[in-house]
Chains A and B, each alone.
Chain A
Amino acid sequence: MTAPAASPSPTRGDVVLEVDHLVMNYRTKEGLVSAVEDVSFDLIEGDSLGLVGESGCGKTSVAMCLLRLQADNAEFHRGEIRFKGENLLALSEEEMRRHRWNDISMVFQGAMNAWNPVYRVGDQIREALRVHFPDMTVAEGRERIRALFELVGLNPDMMDRYPHEFSGGMRQRAVIAMALSCNPTIIIADEPTTALDVIVQDQILKELKKVQHELGMSIIYISHDIAVIAEVTDHLGVMYAGKLMEYGTTEEVFHRPRHPYTFLLLSSTPSITGPRRKLAPLEGEPPNLLDPPGGCRFNPRCPFATEKCEREEPPLEEIGPGHTVACWHHDQVPKTLLHELRV
């Protein structure tokens, strides 16, 4: 299998995280669920990487693997996750704990609704700080939280308030403050704005971008919202049924999608800009990962599928600088999105 290209852009920083041929299954009563199948990508320092795909395509599973917070029935079969060259999968639980939050932290999906209602928000963040900095005094902790709140655009006095006194957007800001509390190198943001209104979403995404520039962090955005991903990421990985189907710069993947799945996904995304047009639905449903289809996992839904696609699995192949695609027929994918053809 071809190694995935890590779009080397010399002006940017070094690679901080390498995911290398990762294979992870869930063991269930019915059998093995092939949740992450041979996924590889690199994350560059200061960069934003997006992972998109339908529900159940393995986006969150990959994220959980990066923090080694995968479910108990998860099994790694192959591959490495290297943080600055060190394979996280080979570490003991104790060693991994030192990386968690200090180097890689996460904004979990729905975390804004997970604040404990009977404790002050600031106290809950201090709790997290205490685990990582046992010597930190109360005053130092409060000072740190004050700075974090200012960083994410919250009034520092809010730290002595209870979660119910926060609006949805403020709760999400506080979650981001908590994820930033140990100065991580990487933040994984899993659907960070999904439950929020557009105006609040806009504010939160701007805030994240600002903080990212100030602190020089890398962010992995996980979202099913293609429009959000288009706006906030530099690189983009498109996942389908546990596999990475296409990877490249966000510009490249959006303007020149080469995988039929990416192509159809973009063709079915409504927008408020451009001419009003008919969209093409993506027929069918993702496969059951207990028994994924043979060959290319997308072949049952793919309009370009041939016999070869049912037999042989396409490798992730470099088709342009830093642009990789896993499809036998990527040269047949139209250059214009379906709905644009119909205008």
Chain B
Amino acid sequence: MSENGALVKVEDLQKRFPVTKSVFRKAEHFVHAVDGVSFEIAHGESLGLVGESGCGKTTTGRVLVKLDEATGGRALLADEQGLIDVAHIRQEDMKRFRRRVQMIFQDPYESMNPRRTVYDTVAEPLAIQKIGTRLEREEKVAQLLQLVGLTPPASFLFRYPHELSGGQRQRVAVARALVVGPSFVVADEPTSMLDVSIRISIMELMLRLADELGVSYLYITHDLAVARYMCDRIAVMYLGKIVEVATTEELLANPLHPYTRALLSAVPVPDPSYKRPPVEIKGGISKAIDPPATCRFLDRCPWAIDVCRENDHPPLEDKDDEHYVACYLVDKISA
């Protein structure tokens, strides 16, 4: 990936939530939800962000679409007019930004207004962006429904969410996200609420549309098998930090960070004859309230030595051919 070929460039992004006992008191403690995260996504690339619940992956996604405000760092988005810094966006640039960046949410039962028809839902971004006449919008919506496989569109346009199945709702969510022609879509577990059979068809749909429309995804998921199916590269997150990034197959075949290794060995395999390696990890995930400066994974790491206890959280370093890992003991562990 070349420096200027990146569509999204995230630099040292930070999001802290204050923990307050009383609204009248100044916060003294902070949850470091996203704690200095950097990555790039190329045009048309899809990056998977994986990790356990509470690791900050959803917050990262929300900051990138500006549903949450970053408390530090930068997130740059490239378009034909130059770069937009998501963290310091000007009010007059907001509309332009929203045309470029969209989000697909996890729960298709929660993310749609039950009192609005499919047409209302999908056409709303067009109306807000003042794109086309009413007639053109209707045509555009019908075209999108066709594209996401809700055919014939005429029979879906005026249905309400309760008249749709979970899979159909998620197709509407995809249509709504893509209707303004964004170049970057944050997808937060878009298939985790769906049955396996429907899951694959939504995943296939998103892959096909990425290809046809040239969309890049930040695909947030806890399911590594899904990430493998959807993503060109995978970033593993732990307590607000990215601990490893590599191309998908490289990460699965050659995990370097002890957390990635544990995560991979815990994923069940749909083959009764397959024997998984033991999961080498201690304890459970802790809360990221005022974490110490040392490696975030220290408490759970079976390999930790004095180097890890005496130094700050290790930097994310390129170990081999764009395989980045943040661990002092990489060479020792992989040996």
- The answer to whether B284 touches A271 (Cβ under 8 A) is no
16 A-B pairs besides A272-B228, A273-B274 with CB distance below 8 A are A54-B196, A167-B284, A197-B285, A198-B224, A226-B196, A228-B268, A231-B272, A265-B196, A269-B225, A271-B270, A273-B269, A273-B271, A276-B249, A279-B200, A281-B201, A282-B197
Note all chain B residues with C-beta closer than 8 A to A116: none
Whether B273 lies near A255 (C-beta < 8 A) is yes
A181 on interface, CB distance cutoff 8 Å: no
**A-side contacts of B252, CB under 8 Å:** 272
Contact of B222 among A198, A226, A250 (CB under 8 A): A198
Distance (whole angstroms) from the CB of B50 to the closest CB of chain A: 10
Residues of chain B touching chain A, judged by Cβ–Cβ distance below 8 Å, are 52-53, 165, 167, 195-201, 203-204, 222, 224-226, 228-229, 248-249, 252, 262-264, 266-274, 276, 279, 281, 284-285
On whether the beta carbons of A197 and B269 are closer than 8 Å, the reply is no
Interface centre among A55, A198, A265 (most CB of B within 10 A): A198
What are the 8 A-B residue pairs with the smallest beta carbon separation, nearest first?
A282-B197, A227-B268, A281-B201, A270-B225, A202-B266, A227-B270, A281-B200, A197-B52
B251 to chain A, nearest CB (A): 10
Q: Which residues of B contact A199 (CB under 8 A)?
A: 52, 262-263, 266, 279, 281
Least CB distance, B13 to chain A, in whole angstroms: 23
Name 14 A/B residue pairs within 8 A (Cβ), A-sorted.
Answer: A55-B195, A200-B284, A202-B268, A227-B267, A227-B269, A230-B270, A250-B272, A269-B196, A270-B200, A271-B269, A272-B269, A280-B200, A281-B201, A282-B201
Question: What sequence of 0s and 1s flags, for each residue 183-219 of chain A, a beta carbon within 8 Å of any chain B beta carbon?
Answer: 0000000000000011111110000000000000000
Answer yes or no: A224 CB below 8 A from chain B CBs.
Answer: yes
Q: How far is B248's CA from A199's CA once the two chains are assembled, in angstroms?
A: 20
Pairwise interchain contact B195-A54, C-beta atoms closer than 8 A: yes
Hey, which chain B residues are within 8 Å of A282, CB to CB?
A: 196-198, 200-201
Q: How far, in angstroms, from A167 to B54 measured CA to CA in the complex?
A: 12
Q: In the complex, are the beta carbons of B195 and A269 less than 8 A apart?
A: no
Could you tell me the distance between the alpha carbons of A254 and B269 in the complex, rounded to whole angstroms? 12
What residues of A have a CB within 8 angstroms of the CB of B267 in the complex? 198, 227, 272
- Whole-angstrom CA separation of A276 from B270 in the bound complex: 14
A311 to chain B, nearest CB (A): 25
Question: Among residues 271 to 319 in chain A, which have CB atoms less than 8 Å away from a CB atom of chain B?
Answer: 271-273, 276, 279-283, 285
Q: Which residue of A lies closest to B194 (CB)?
A: A55
Complex Cα–Cα for A230 and B229 (A): 20
Q: Which of A202, A231, A233 contacts B279 (CB 8 A)?
A: A202
> A227: which B residues are within 8 A, CB to CB?
225, 267-270
> How far does the alpha carbon of A266 sit from the alpha carbon of B196 in the complex, in Å?
9
A272 close to B224 (CB less than 8 A): yes
**Chain B residues near A264 (CB-CB < 8 A):** 197
Nearest B-chain residue to A168, judged by Cβ = B53
Partner of A279, one of B229, B248, B262, B263: B229
Contact of A271 among B52, B165, B167, B225 (CB under 8 A): B225
How distant is A163 from chain B, measured CB to nearest CB, in Å?
Answer: 16
Rounded to whole angstroms, the CA-CA distance of A179 and B268 in the bound complex is 24
A268 touches B197 (CB 8 A): yes
Cβ B224 vs Cβ A251 within 8 A: no
Q: In the complex, what distance in Å separates the CA atom of A198 from the CA atom of B228?
A: 16
- Interchain CA distance A270-B200 in the complex, whole Å: 8
The chain A residue with its CB closest to the CB of B275 is A231
Verify B270–A226 contact, CB threshold 8 A.
Answer: yes
CB distance from A113 to the nearest CB of B (A): 14
**Complex: how many Å from CA A268 to CA B270?**
11
Contact partners of B284 in chain A: CB under 8 A: 167, 169, 200
What's the Cα separation between A231 and B262 when bound, in Å? Answer: 17
Q: A265-B196, A281-B197, A283-B201 are in contact. Are A254 and B270 (CB under 8 A)?
A: yes
B268 touches A231 (CB 8 A): yes
A192 to B249, CA, bound (A): 30
B203 neighbours in A (Cβ, 8 Å): 279
A40-98 CB contacts (< 8 Å) to partner B: 54-55
CA distance A273 to B267 in the complex (A): 10
Report A172 CB to chain B, min CB distance, Å. Answer: 12
* A197 and B262 alpha carbons, distance in the complex (Å): 12
Q: How far is the CB of A235 from chain B (nearest CB, A)?
A: 11
**CB of B119 to closest CB in A, whole Å:** 22
With both chains docked as a complex, state the minimum distance between the C-beta of B254 and any C-beta of chain A, in angstroms.
13
A265 to B262 CA separation, bound complex (whole angstroms): 28
Name which residue of chain B comes closest to A198, CB basis.
Answer: B266
Write out the residue numbers on chain B whose beta carbons fall within 8 Å of the beta carbon of A250. Answer: 272
Interface residue? A225 (CB, 8 A): yes
Question: Knowing A197-B53, A270-B229, A283-B201 touch, does A225 contact B263 (C-beta < 8 A)?
Answer: no
